[in-house]
Structure 1
Amino acid sequence: MYTPVHSRAASAAYRQVGVQSGVDGATPQALIKMLFDGLVQSLNAARGAMARGDVAEKGRQLGRAVRILEEGLKGGLDRQRGGELAANLGALYDYCIARLTHANLRGDVAAVEEVLKLVAPVADGWNQLAAAPAGRA
């Protein structure tokens, strides 16, 4: 079925507004949860691309995952107030970035799976914080 270009553009614009609205009204915990959700989604998409032999999509998804780790999660750390926890998370994110770079260069799905296993407990913690009633987190 053919959808006119202006209709497709409008749909894309509405989706973007919905995403932006979700970001604008989100708590800091919810924003971090969104980053982890995007990270896990990209890692799973990269695994699928690797299984299909889709090199371009693998590179795109791993690049997105690295950007989320570097610019979103690591960039958002408050090393002054976060102390040892922020330092440990920064080291974890650096390690994950190195493993994903290796995975992209070598087509190593095991490295992607390793990163998924490493970030899952941290993502779960943020999911619990984001779901906690106001004042309890």
Structure 2
Amino acid sequence: MVGGMGAAPQDLMKMGLDRACALLRECEAAIARGDRLTKARSLMAAHEIVEFLLGISGAEPGSLSECLGKVYRYALVAMLKGNATDDPVAIEAGRTALEELAAAWRRIFPDALSWAAE
């Protein structure tokens, strides 16, 4: 269990990835309709989740932590680029990287919980 959160680490990571991806889809849609407020809110929330995941990925140094860190940093850079230029393609690239990581995580931990967008 992750201290104070009531979730196993693999479940917490899965929920974070799912929620970040849902928020990035929301951001892409907001950019498409010119809704800057929703874009900013969803992007900020996704960014916070990915930063959190990046932080906990380094808790146990090793090759897995390094690989996770690279994916998270790629997604963060894509979010920054997408925000600065209202570029849904950049946001999509970051989301795709996180979705691929989430798919791999599901294969490794098939019983991990999911937090789908409401």
TM-score, length basis structure 1: 0.71
Aligned residue among 71, 84, 97 for 1:118: 97
- State the match for 1:8 in structure 2: none
Task: Give structure 2 stretches of 5+ with no counterpart.
Answer: 113-118
Q: How does 1:72-111 map to 2 (within 5 A)?
A: 73-78=53-58, 81-111=60-90
Which of 1 and 2 has higher RCO (CA within 8 Å, sep 6+)? 2
The structure in which a higher percent of residues are helix is 1
CA contact (8 A) 2:24 2:43 kept: yes
AA partner of residue 35 (structure 2): D
- State the match for 1:17 in structure 2: none
CA contact (8 A) 1:50 1:58 kept: yes
CA contact (8 A) 1:43 1:65 kept: yes
Q: How does 1:9-48 map to 2 (within 5 A)?
A: 24-48=5-29
Count of equivalent residues: 108
CA contact (8 A) 2:58 2:69 kept: no
Q: Which has the larger radius of gyration?
A: 1
RMSD, aligned CA: 1.8
What SS does the corresponding residue of 1:76 show, helix, strand or coil? helix
- Percent identity between matched residues is 32
Task: Give structure 1 stretches of 5+ with no counterpart.
Answer: 1-22, 133-137
- State the match for 1:131 in structure 2: 111
CA contact (8 A) 1:33 1:126 kept: yes
CA contact (8 A) 1:33 1:130 kept: no
Q: Distance in 2 between matches of 1:51 and 1:131?
A: 35
Q: Distance in 1 between matches of 2:58 and 2:25?
A: 28
Report deviation, 1:58: 0.4
